Amino acid sequence: MLYTKIFAKSTMDTVLGDAVKTASGGTPSRKHGEYYDHGNICWVKPKELLDGYLLNTEEHINELAITKSSAKLLPSYSVLIAMYGATVGAYSIISKPMACNQAVCALLSNENYPYTYLFQVACESQQKLINFAVGSAQQNISQVLIKQLPIHSNKGNIQEFHSLAQPIHKRIESLNAENILLADTRDTLLPKFMSGELDVSKLDI
C-alpha cells in the first residue's frame, strides 16, 4: 500500500489540529423555505459520506442560507468526517464547494497537508473514531477529538505521497462523475423505453 510504504519509517509526532483548520456547518431553519428555494449549493448530511468522492447531494441550499444561517461554504476537496450516530467515522472528499450540517466535520487542506493525505488520515482513523463513539454515553464524537488525531509532520513524505496519490484520486473522481452521468442517462431513457416512446427494434445491435 502506497501510504504504508512511504510512511513506514515516519512517526506520527503531531496532531491534526496543529496542522490544519477544521470546520462544521449547520442546518438552515426549515421554517424558512426561502433558504432552500432554487438552491444551487450542495448541502451534505452524514449519511452521504461513503468513503469516496462526493459530487452531488440529496438537498441543496442557496446563498441566502449561507448568509443567514450557521451553514458555511466549504472549499473544494475538503475532507468530511461524520461525527454523530450510526455514521460516525464515515468520510468523503467534496469535489466542489459545498456546505454541510452540524453533524459533519470538515478538514481544510493546506499547502503542507494536501487533501490526499487528509483523506488517508480519515481512512486510517475511521475505526478509532468509531471506537471512541461506542465508548461514550452517546454515539458521537466532536471536532475537539478529531483535532487530537495523530498525524505525520514529515512534509517531505507527505508531499511525496501527494504527488503519487493525486493522479489516482483524479482518476477516481473522473470515474465517479462518469458513473453519475451514466446513471442519470439510464434514469432518463429507461421510462421512455418501457413506455414505447423510444423504439429500439430497428437498431442494429
| Residue 38 to residue 61: CA distance in whole angstroms | 8
Question: Over 80: is that where the pLDDT of 200 sits?
Answer: no
Query: What amino acid occupies position 12?
Result: M
pLDDT of residue 193: 60
C-alpha cell at 145: 477529538
C-alpha cell at 49: 459520506
- pLDDT tens, position by position, 58-109: 999 999 999 999 999 999 999 999 999 889 999 999 999 999 999 999 999 9
pTM: 0.87
Q: Residue 98: beta bridge partners? A: 74
**78 touches 94 (CB < 8 A):** yes
Residue with the larger pLDDT of the pair 193 and 70: 70
- pLDDT tens, position by position, 10-60: 999 999 999 999 999 999 999 999 999 999 999 999 999 999 999 999 999
Domain extents for the chain? 2-195
Whether domain 2-195 has CATH 3.40.50.2020: no
